[in-house]
Amino acid sequence: MQPADMIPATEFCVHHKIELSFIHLLEQHGMIETVVIDECVFFPLSELDRLEKIIRLHFELDINLEGIETINHLLQRITNMQEQIVSLSNRLKAWEGDD
């Protein structure tokens, strides 16, 4: 039995035509989180977008795992900066509105 918010890694691998060992390698590098339930490997549904992005970078663009780690780190920094810009912009608008 699998929880509703978990995806079986074996089904994902069959669908994307990749080896299960690649999923294990990503987990070892800390790029994704997996859970073992009844000797079956699952990953949270929340990891799906990130995992598919990693697969495209690795298999379609031939980027190694170290490169993917760097790309993920930089994308996270960009996301954090965008959130900070929105927050600061909202604070500035609120401050300017206090005439």
pLDDT tens digits along 24-83: 999 999 899 999 988 899 999 999 999 999 999 999 999 999 999 999 999 999 999 999
Beta strands in 1-99 (DSSP E): 6-8, 35-37, 40-44
More confident residue, 98 or 76: 76
Total structural domains in the chain?
1
- Report yes or no on 1 lying in a domain: no
- Report yes or no on 62 lying in a domain: yes
Buried b (16+ CB within 10 A) or exposed e, 1-11: eeeeebbebee
64 close to 25: Cβ distance less than 8 angstroms? no
The encoded tokens of residue 33 equal: 């989180």
Q: Is the pTM of this model over 0.85?
A: no
The encoded tokens of residue 17 equal: 């035509």
The whole domain housing 35 covers: 6-96
* Per-residue pLDDT at 99 exceeds 70: no
End-to-end alpha carbon distance in the chain = 60
- Report yes or no on 33 lying in a domain: yes
CATH, residue 89: 1.10.1660.10
